[in-house]
Amino acid sequence: MATVLTWMVIATAFSFSVAAPEEALISRIAFGSCANQTSPQPIWDAIVNFKPQVFIWLGDNIYGDIRRPFKLFGNERTIGPWKNVPRFVPSSVDEMQEKYKIAKKNHGYSRLREIAKVIGTWDDHDYGLNDAGKEFKGKDTNQKLMLDFLDEPHDSPRRKQAGVYASYTFGPEGRQIKVILLDTRYHRDPLRSDGTILGTAQWKWLEKELNGQPSAITIIGSSIQVVSNLSACTGPLFYMESWGRFPSDRKRLFNMISDSKRDGVVFISGDVHFGEITRFDCGTTYPLYDITSSGLTQAVEKVIPSFLHFGLRFLAWVTPTTMRVINNNCKYKSCTYGQPNFGVIQVDWEAKPVSLRFEVRGVSGEVVNSVTTSLLDLQTKTKKTQLPQQHCFLEVDLPWLTRHRLAILFSFFVTVLIVVQVGGLYVVISLMVKCLRKCKLD
Ligand SMILES: *[C@@H]1O[C@H](CO)[C@@H](O)[C@H](O)[C@H]1NC(C)=O
Ligand SMILES: *[C@@H]1O[C@H](CO)[C@@H](O)[C@H](O)[C@H]1NC(C)=O
């Protein structure tokens, strides 16, 4: 009896301290990634105006590493086959700490922290080094700094484990939202290895999380894109990091979700410096959406002059994609958004059935990309139903000519450039020869 009583007391105390503050109904979530701490961050105003109850960092929360400029010649050559120094180098601990301090002091971000619960994971630049994985030496030190930035309690288990993965459950029973944040860095095998992204312990943990208590909605936060494998269509010109680059682990993730029969799973991601919404219809029995928002400051269109923005959007439109949701809610025809942006998930719990809205929003809070769906459409089906399956087709299975459209266009452009130059040179030389002959004759 005494033990039962003790257990009841402990259980009550536990549920009070852990569950009580998180029991408020959550219907507004915002998220973002890729924020350069030394650049102005006006987007926080729009995020604060959205009044999110929860904000989720998806990585590159600061740019912790040091980037050397592109240099083809000179002492420190960072590109070309003759490069002799790496383009990215890690910062010292003091420098990392200073960068986090700047990020945390940002006025807009401070206001957000007052109104919303802020949680998050990391990506490469705040992990410590561009494109780094498990081999990176500074990972334990940087884990501590990152958790300090997020005000992780000192006794949190997250401070004792290898990697920053974590899960949260918000909301009252029946209307719960579970947020699972993955660590795609600490245990990640080298690129092109088709090894593991999550590592053994994190996989085991994730399986338990997915098979545990059901929740109406489960948001899985991954720094890198889960659904889209754009690299399949941009290679060999350039490659991006994504789950697609680790095909076995990607398959394992979808199988694990499918086997868990968990309803309402949605991915959110960052990393790529543009925003888009993608979906995969053959991962489980309902569509798996991946809402990508990147970045809060770092966006592709910001690094080129504005008269070239149209060209960039054209290239984004030309590059084939099988997963991107193309609809009339997009600001641009490509349905990608290359200006600073943040992501939004809104839930209308009163609607019947409960409806969900995914958005990418620009720096003034304007919606530039959106999808509305319902919880009913994100439920495990017992018998095979007829999903349209237009988002089932992997990018790598596209016909060769379609898949390599970008590279073909690029080669064509380079060829034309070379032909024009050689032609020009030929004309100049022949004119000179003609002129010389004429001079001799005279
Ligand atoms: C961050 O912004 C500063 C100031 O605009 C700039 O000098 C620096 O190169 C930027 N860093 C990155 C990683 O873009
Ligand atoms: C994604 O693209 C890369 C590069 O082309 C390829 O190696 C990989 O197998 C693709 N992954 C999937 C799941 O299609």
| Separation in Å, CA 168 to CA 54, 163, 325 | 11, 16, 28
Q: Determine the 3-state secondary structure of 261 from DSSP.
A: coil
Nearest-atom index, ligand 1, CA of 40: 5
CA–centroid distance, 227 to ligand 2, in Å, is 11
Alpha-carbon dihedral of residues 316, 320, 325, 328, nearest 10 degrees? 60
Q: Minimum-distance ligand to the CA of 249? A: 2
Which contacts of 402-409 are long-range, i.e. CB under 8 A and separated by 24 or more positions? 402/320, 403/232, 403/233, 403/320, 404/233, 405/233, 405/318, 405/319, 405/320, 406/233, 406/234, 406/237, 406/315, 406/318, 406/319, 407/234, 407/235, 407/236, 407/237, 409/315, 409/318
Beta carbon of 232 within 6 Å of any ligand 2 atom: yes
Which contacts of 136-145 are long-range, i.e. CB under 8 A and separated by 24 or more positions? 136/90, 136/185, 137/90, 138/90, 138/93, 139/185, 139/186, 141/93, 141/96, 142/64, 142/96, 143/186, 145/93, 145/96, 145/97, 145/100
Residue spans per domain, the chain: 23-403, 414-442
Architecture of domain 23-403: 4-Layer Sandwich (3.60)
Distant-in-sequence, close-in-space partners of 202: CB < 8 Å, separation ≥ 6: 163, 165, 182, 183, 187
| pTM score, whole prediction | 0.92
**How much is the CA Rg of the chain, to the nearest whole Å?**
25
Ligand 1, atom 4, residue with closest C-alpha: 39
Residue at 250: amino acid letter: R
Nearest-atom index, ligand 2, CA of 235: 5
Ramachandran bin of 335, using left for φ above 0, alpha for ψ from -120 to 50, beta for the remaining angles: left
| Separation in Å, CA 161 to CA 139, 200, 289 | 12, 13, 29
Residue 371 to residue 288: CA distance in whole angstroms: 13
Alpha carbon 165 to its chain's center: 15
- Cβ atoms < 10 Å from Cβ of 285: 17
Pocket test for ligand 1, best of 34, 37, 39, 300 (most atoms within 8 A of CB): 39
CA–centroid distance, 36 to ligand 1, in Å, is 6
Q: 3-state secondary structure string, 198-242? A: CCHHHHHHHHHHHHCCCCCEEEEEECCECCCCCHHHHCCCCCCCE
Nearest-atom index, ligand 1, CA of 63: 13
Tokens at 236, concatenated? 């060999």
| Separation in Å, CA 270 to CA 36, 282, 341, 358, 433 | 14, 22, 10, 14, 58
Angle at 64 between CA 302 and CA 153, to 5 degrees: 120
One pLDDT digit (tens) per residue for the chain, 442 residues: 344 444 444 444 333 334 445 789 999 999 999 999 999 999 999 999 999 999 999 999 999 999 999 998 988 899 888 999 999 999 999 999 999 999 999 999 999 999 999 999 999 999 999 999 999 999 999 999 999 999 999 999 999 999 999 999 999 999 999 999 999 999 999 999 999 999 999 999 999 999 999 999 999 999 999 999 999 999 999 999 999 999 999 999 999 999 999 999 999 999 999 999 999 999 999 999 999 999 999 999 999 999 999 999 999 999 999 999 999 999 999 999 999 999 999 999 999 999 999 999 999 999 999 999 999 999 998 876 666 678 999 999 999 999 999 999 999 999 999 999 999 999 999 999 998 888 776 6
Main-chain dihedrals φ then ψ at residue 51, nearest 5 degrees: 55, 55
Residue 314 to residue 301: CA distance in whole angstroms: 12
Pocket test for ligand 1, best of 33, 62, 63, 124 (most atoms within 8 A of CB): 63
Helices (H) and strands (E) counted in the chain, each on its own, are: 12, 14
CA–centroid distance, 233 to ligand 2, in Å, is 9
